[in-house]
Chain A
Amino acid sequence: MPIQLTSQAYCKMLLHTAKYPHCAVNGLLIAEKSKEKKKDGHGVPVLCVDCVPLFHGTLALAPMLEVALTLIDTWCKENNYIIAGYYQANERKKDSKPNQVAEKVAARITENFSEAAIVMVDNSRLTVSCSEPIVVIYDHHENKWRNREVTMGSFEDWSEAQKITSALLVGRSYENLIDFDNHLDDLRNDWTNPVINKSVLDLC
């Protein structure tokens, strides 16, 4: 089951990447929990409706990652969501391969959601105009993470995602994006990003 990104999920991922251009960033992809368990669920894409930006800078340390995963998982359960994937943008511009951290977190997510995907941001193609999708999606097949071709079908509505992301990048909305690191610095910072979510909704 391939994943599909909504405008909100895609846009917040890119805003997070743009907020910390000199750091690696990562976060979780959130999907709505499906109401019935389809026996034959193949071919139906999993819609990632949102993402939660996690950290910037050093990603390879465990304790805060565990705290974040636990708190976000609890929040998901309360809102009928599920953690469906993981995104990461590496520190260097030309590096867009998933590393050990990405694989480990994704493996953990897979234990709760078998179709979890890794979404890597291709930093070298990040532009304000967002003329093309700049993510690379990896699925787990036969014990390896393999990348899959990203098409317009990987998005719920690519032209909407493109329009919204570009507008928010130009408007420097990323200055107000909150990740889990910001939350740990000051608990009042809300990692669900209601302000940005509202901006996205207003632009839809």
Chain B
Amino acid sequence: MASVSELYDVGWEEMRDKLRKWREDNSRNSEQIVDVGEELISDHASKLGDDVWIIYEQVMIAALDCSRDDLALTCLQELRKQFPDSHRVKRLTGMRLEALERYDEANKHYDAILEDDPTNTAARKRKISILKAQGKNGEAIRELNEYLEQFVGDQEAWHELSELYINEHDYGKAAFCLEELMMTNPHNHLYCEQYAEVKYTQGGLENLELSRKYFSQALRLNNRNMRALFGLYMSASHIAASPKVSAKVKKDNIKYAAWAANQINRAYKVKFMKSLVKLLELLSCFFFCFWQLCKTS
């Protein structure tokens, strides 16, 4: 099989920079990281300087994702040699045990880290991940809530908690987590848009109106967010179709929906015009059933 450098005609510097970009973006493209990283460390390790250690860590985690225990162990051993007493490396040892589904042993590693350093957030989060992997969502939620009482600023944790709540269909609590995130990241259009989706799913007129407002806010923060645009269209249409609203609210929401439909059409550049007209027709009979279904559960 051709090497990455041959296939894509890149040098080791480009490969190293690509790995850095993937680290910064926190992308989970593990197969690509393994392909690029494995070649980089086997052929060019000496040129990487101090970067080599963080690359070993990155490649190790990607290798675990791809069931490449051979590669993961190689990276881990290099890291252990270089940083023999490191908690960070101990956590990686634990992650390897998790990948091998040896959860009890992994937990022992994390407990040892926490005994030594009770503020080690990484070890606590790994323990919660183990609960999630074992399908113990209720316990994971409990532990994560306790964690967040201590580490209130951990955004990754708030986001994870919101996802856990969504999977348990506890939309109210998911919304609360997203509210925390929006408070600390008022310019993040993705949190706004996700909050709007949760409110929409919760259902009921008040939540629909909130969802419409937050879809609009997400659009204001990023006018190319298609989910926000579609969401604005859907929420405004549902509100307009609701028998409980006044004539004025109905009229306003029809206007918002029409504006959104227009923007959607422009985004698709007329190609899907037919679909949009059909969408407007279908909406009244087709879909407020879904949130009705959600409400009844």
Binding site for B on A (CB under 8 A): 21-22, 58, 60-67, 69-71, 73-75, 77-78, 92, 94-95, 100, 104, 107-108, 172, 184-185, 187
Asked whether, in the complex, the Cβ of B167 is within 8 Å of the Cβ of A60, the reply is yes
In the complex, A78→B267 CA distance in Å?
A: 21
Q: Which residue of B lies closest to A95 (CB)?
A: B135
Q: Interface majority SS on B: helix, strand, loop or mixed? A: helix
Does A71 lie within 8 Å of B226, measured CB to CB?
no
Once the chains bind, are A61 and B234 in contact (CB under 8 Å)? no
* Residues of A close to B133: CB separation below 8 A: 92
Contacts of B211 in A (CB 8 A): 63
B201: A residues at CB distance < 8 A: 60-63
Q: Is the CB of A108 within 8 A of B197?
A: no
Q: A74 and B166: CB pair below 8 A?
A: no
Size of chain B's interface in residues, with CB distance under 8 A?
Answer: 39
Complex contact B279–A61 (CB within 8 A): no
Q: How many A-B residue pairs have CB under 8 A?
A: 85
Question: Can you list 13 A-B contacts with CB-CB less than 8 angstroms, sorted by A residue number?
Answer: A60-B169, A61-B194, A61-B198, A62-B291, A63-B200, A63-B201, A63-B227, A66-B290, A69-B287, A70-B279, A71-B275, A104-B290, A184-B227
Is B235 positioned at the interface, with any CB of A under 8 Å from its CB?
Answer: yes
- Chain B positions within 8 Å of A22 at CB level: 28, 65
Residues of B within 8 A of A94 (CB): 135
Contact assessment for B230 and A67 in the assembled complex, using a CB-CB cutoff below 8 Å: yes
- Residues of A contacting B: mostly: helix
CB proximity of B108 to chain A, nearest CB, Å: 22
A100–B169 contact, CB under 8 A? yes
A residues in contact with B275, CB < 8 Å: 71, 74-75
Query: Which of chain B's residues 263-297 have a Cβ closer than 8 Å to chain A?
Result: 267-268, 272, 274-275, 278-279, 282-283, 286-287, 289-291, 293-294, 297
